[in-house]
């Protein structure tokens, strides 16, 4: 009988040794992701790309045994492109236990979510929203930005502006937090170069008829137009700017304009247009090459800028879980602050003072590549160009 018990113990030990890591880790608490993005409304096209990329990152992680040996589970919801719906959906997910949140596109929704993280016992990973407020006067210890801020873009633009031809410019921007930040920052950057910005137009979200604004832009007779429109509004503006011959007669300069989904929806109107680019599939580093190869194997195409940024946001979340060896939002947040991470942008740091991922930045131009228009990186600006943390951020 004693020999039989010993044999059974040895057999059990051998079975455990033979089990894959994923099976051994089934007892670990899973990583529960709350994917809050736009399935409807003005940001639906971007939201679709964000959701696709985050779910790809989750599937990829699970196929490799999970994150820190933990299965990743996801609950997704539609923020309807509005702050109220975004806050409501995020709260429900967080209270249901899916309290590692990611996915919103506009800064207005990210601001609504970030203010409630302590109350919900959640952490939030911003992968698209750019407003400086998110890492400024409304920064939160559990909110992390993994994409470029307006301040980072403008710091780059201050350098890039030296190459932009022309002396007079107009601004057309979305009338909400990010659009106004963008428009005001561009105007300051140009005026610092001794150039003039005689016309600034802020357009209500959801505008379908841009003809009154286009008439003003044509009458201004400027050398270039700074465009900070988003989603379907950006598509409508670019299409109508072509129809009314505003372009190519007056060059456009884009802030978040030369995104793949906008290019694909507006014919050849954006060909040759320069602008900042938050991510490009041809970034030359091992981690990005691995990501692009896996993406192409699944989707038979290159990832878009929005998809790359969303994938990066998910990876930073997963890095936080690995570093913390925990899925608790407070633990993940503490582990990430000040951490050095290996990302699709290369090796970068999550700045502890404001939870901003310090990234290189890029200027691209829309070009025809293999029969299709897409943004192509022309200039890379180092992460060292990133402005210091805002003194308004108190964490």
Give pLDDT, residue 163. 84
Q: What's the CA gap between 206 and 312, in Å, rounded? A: 29
C-alpha to C-alpha distance for 321 and 83, rounded to whole angstroms: 27
Given this model, what pLDDT does residue 380 score? 95
Region of 386 (left: φ > 0; alpha: ψ -120 to 50; beta: rest) is beta
Sign of CA dihedral 74, 80, 83, 85: negative
Which tokens hold the place of 311? 């994938």
pLDDT, position 24: 39
Q: Per-residue pLDDT tens for 244-256?
A: 999 999 999 999 8
User: Can you list the residues of the chain whose pLDDT is less than 70?
Assistant: 1-26
Largest CA distance in the chain: 98
- Please give the model's pTM, rounded to 2 decimal places: 0.86
The answer to whether 25-148+283-359 and 152-276 have equal CATH topology is yes
**The predicted structure's pLDDT at residue 4:** 39
**Second CATH level (architecture) for the domain 25-148+283-359:** 3-Layer(aba) Sandwich (3.40)
Listed as own residue / partner, the contacts of 186-193 with beta carbons closer than 8 Å and 24 or more positions apart are 186/154, 186/157, 186/226, 186/228, 186/255, 188/154, 189/154, 189/157, 189/158, 189/161, 190/161, 192/158, 193/161, 193/162
Q: What is the pLDDT of residue 26?
A: 56
The burial of 109, by beta-carbon neighbours within 10 Å (0-12 exposed, 13-18 middle, 19 or more buried), is given as buried
| Distance between CA atoms of residues 331 and 236, nearest Å | 44
Structure tokens at 105: 């596109």
Domain ranges within the chain, ordered by starting residue: 25-148+283-359, 152-276
Decide: helix, strand or coil at residue 151. Answer: helix
CA atoms within 13 A on the CB side of 121: 8
Decide if domain 152-276 falls under CATH 3.10.400.10: no
pLDDT at 181: 81
């Amino acid at each position: 009988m004693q020999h039989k018990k010993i044999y059974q113990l040895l057999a059990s030990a051998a079975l455990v040794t033979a089990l894959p890591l994923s099976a051994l880790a089934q007892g670990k608490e899973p990583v529960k992701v709350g994917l809050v993005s736009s399935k409807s409304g003005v940001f639906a096209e971007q939201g679709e790309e964000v959701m696709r990329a985050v779910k790809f990152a989750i599937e990829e992680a699970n196929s490799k045994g999970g994150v820190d040996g933990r299965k990743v589970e996801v609950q997704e919801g539609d923020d309807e492109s509005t702050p109220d719906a975004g806050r409501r959906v995020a709260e429900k997910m967080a209270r249901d236990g899916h309290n590692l949140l990611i996915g919103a596109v506009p800064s207005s929704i990210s601001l609504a979510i970030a203010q409630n993280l302590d109350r919900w016992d959640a952490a939030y990973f911003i992968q698209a929203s750019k407003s400086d407020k998110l890492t400024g006067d409304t920064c939160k210890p559990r909110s992390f930005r993994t994409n470029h801020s307006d301040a980072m873009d403008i710091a780059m633009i201050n350098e890039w502006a030296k190459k932009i031809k022309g002396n007079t410019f107009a601004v057309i921007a979305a009338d909400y937090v990010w659009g106004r930040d963008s428009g005001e920052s561009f105007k300051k950057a140009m005026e610092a170069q001794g150039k003039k910005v005689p016309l600034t137009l802020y357009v209500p979200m959801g505008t379908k008829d841009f003809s009154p604004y286009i008439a003003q832009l044509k009458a201004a007779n400027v050398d270039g137009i700074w465009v900070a429109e988003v989603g379907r509004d950006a598509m409508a503006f670019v299409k109508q700017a072509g129809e009314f011959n505003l372009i190519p007669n007056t060059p456009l300069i884009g802030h978040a304009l030369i995104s793949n989904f906008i290019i694909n929806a507006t014919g050849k109107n954006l060909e040759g247009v320069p602008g900042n680019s938050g991510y490009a599939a041809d970034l030359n580093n091992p981690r990005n090459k691995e990501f692009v190869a896996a993406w192409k194997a699944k989707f038979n195409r290159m990832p878009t800028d929005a998809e790359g940024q969303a994938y990066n946001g998910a990876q930073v979340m997963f890095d936080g879980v690995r570093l913390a060896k925990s899925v608790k939002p407070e633990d993940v947040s503490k582990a990430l602050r000040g951490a050095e991470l290996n990302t699709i942008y290369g090796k970068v740091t999550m700045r502890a003072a404001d939870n901003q991922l310090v990234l290189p930045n890029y200027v691209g131009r829309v070009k025809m590549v293999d029969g299709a228009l897409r943004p192509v990186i022309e200039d890379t600006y180092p992460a060292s160009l990133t402005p210091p943390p805002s003194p308004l951020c108190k964490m």
